[in-house]
Amino acid sequence: MENLTHSLAGYALARAGLDRFSPRAAVLLVLAANAPDVDILFLTQGPFRYFEVHRGYSHSLLLIPFLALLTVAVTAAMFRQRLPWLKAWLICCVAVASHLLIDWTNNYGVRLALPFSSRWYHADLNSLYDIWILLALLFGAVWPLFSRLVSSEIGLRSRTQRGSAMFALGFFFLFDCGRAFLHNQAVTQLESRLYDGTQPLKTAAFPDPFSPITWTGAVETERAFLRLPVHSLSELNVADAISFYKPEIAPILPAVKSRPEFAYLSYFARFPVWSVAPLGTGNGEGRRVELTDLRFGTPGAGAFHSVATVDPAGHVRDSWFTYGSGRELGWQLGPDAR
């Protein structure tokens, strides 16, 4: 999830009781709760390189103790203060693990088993951000500040901090438990329907950041991918589905798939939607090829797109990866196309 949620979760862990184990515990836990996102440094090598490494090794179980140790070392250097290294390291391990747990709950996923397995794990319970979780964690952080306005008693203030932090963490846990039940209802509905007279090969329900009962359903059949709204507490209407038919296997696709932008997105995508459009030139007809993941976009809309242009001879001329819609890319082959 986004870093504000991770930061507030780390702060809540500190105020819920882990701040008893080390000085600077709040700083330690907030930094540790964000430590796996150190992979953002790869953004300096371009968006595609960052896409490749994001939620990779830095989000694996294997690196939890190393990231925790790095956090303790950075904090000790920042404040020039001796810390109880073992206790500080242990609570930082908890905070780093909380980052991986929270990322596992959303639909982007996380590669927990690297380097032993490159499998993605995703629970599909939360979006990349969730308004209700964010508000609960903000309440846990801000409420003690308001309580100080009405009382200066030390004991009462301490209990308020503990209580609000535990409430926020408890809400997070119970909210996702409830969401797990609603998610199961949504997936069951998707699996129990026929689409164009055929059973689905694969289904998934992706969360809405504002409504816990509203989901975006994704379905794969032999002929197409479908995207449709799902409401956990009401009947599914298959007529609301938008279909994206699978293109016929063409000679140009193997060449396109070998491009790094397409190879990696094919690995990342759970519902890879391809589109092939004609691209006219003065010397024949080329092709514009686009790939996206139905989790995050559709052809020409949403996010996470790879685009390529193929000339009339079947050679890939250019290819791109973008976090945007890709709508503006790949509409020209160039004057030397042949």
pLDDT digits (tens, 9 = 90+) for 76-90: 999 998 999 999 999
Instruction: Tell me what the pLDDT averaged over the chain comes to.
Output: 91
158 plus 132 within the same structural domain = yes
238 plus 281 within the same structural domain = no
**What average pLDDT does range 192-200 have in this prediction?**
93
For 237-254, b/e burial (b = at least 16 CB within 10 A) is ebeebeebeeeeeeebbe
29 plus 138 within the same structural domain = yes
166 plus 237 within the same structural domain = no
Tell me the pLDDT tens digit for each residue of 50-76.
999 999 999 999 999 999 999 999 999
Tell me the pLDDT tens digit for each residue of 111-163.
999 999 999 999 999 999 999 999 999 999 988 777 666 555 444 444 567 88
24 plus 81 within the same structural domain = yes
Residues of the domain holding 160:
3-179
39 plus 173 within the same structural domain = yes
207 plus 237 within the same structural domain = yes
pLDDT of res. 252: 82
Residue 179 scores a pLDDT above 90: yes
pLDDT of res. 251: 77
Residue 315 lies in a domain: yes
pLDDT of res. 159: 55
50 plus 78 within the same structural domain = yes
Residue 335 banded pLDDT, cuts 50, 70, 90: low
DSSP β-ladder status, 202-207 and 214-220? antiparallel
**What average pLDDT does range 232-243 have in this prediction?**
93
pLDDT of res. 282: 61
84 plus 229 within the same structural domain = no
Residue 60 lies in a domain: yes
Higher pLDDT, 228 or 151: 228
> Mutual orientation of helices 3-15 and 154-191 as an angle, nearest 10°?
130
Instruction: Using CA atoms of 21, 25, 28, 33 in order, give the dihedral in degrees to the nearest 10.
Output: 90
Residue 24 lies in a domain: yes
3-state helix, strand and coil shares in percent for the chain, rounded to the nearest 5: 50, 20, 30
pLDDT of res. 205: 97
Greatest extent of the chain over all pairs of C-alpha atoms, in Å: 83
**What average pLDDT does range 305-316 have in this prediction?**
91
201 plus 107 within the same structural domain = no
Domain count, the chain: 3
pLDDT of res. 41: 96
90 plus 12 within the same structural domain = yes
Measured CA to CA, the distance from residue 124 to residue 114 in angstroms comes to: 20
pLDDT of res. 148: 64
Nearest to 141 by CA among 253, 329, 266, 6: 6
206 plus 77 within the same structural domain = no
Residue 86 lies in a domain: yes
Residue 137 lies in a domain: yes
